Structure 1
Amino acid sequence: MTEPEAESGAVDSSGEPSSALFGTGDFFQVGNYAPVADELTAFDLPVEGAIPPELEGWYLRN
């Protein structure tokens, strides 16, 4: 039985090899690493369960 050949290089979230992730120096501007264009403020979002009272602060995701 032969083993499948591995591709070299990185793969982004689309599953396609991405040459921009390594070697170009601008990986932080591509795909999931790109800056967020829109800012969203949402209120009264549904919460399942309970948020512990000891947990304070903000959770921000880029």
Structure 2
Amino acid sequence: MAKKKITKEDISKLLNIHWNSVANKINGSSSFTVEEASQIRDAYFPEWKIEELFQKSADK
């Protein structure tokens, strides 16, 4: 996100949810739905496989 200058606010507008909800999902307090993950990938990271994009950092 930082490399592409994508903010939590950008993602919240895309998903039509509060930016705080996006922060919770990014931090692991809650999860992105498959549909949300797909929207984010399609809009901002089409070059990534969805499995790689949403892989937990401990798994990398």
- TM tier relative to shorter chain: under 0.3
Scaled by the length of structure 1, the TM-score of the pair is 0.22
Higher RCO (C-alpha under 8 Å, 6+ residues apart): 2
TM-score, with structure 2 as normaliser: 0.22
User: Which of these two proteins has the greater Rg computed from alpha carbons?
Assistant: 1
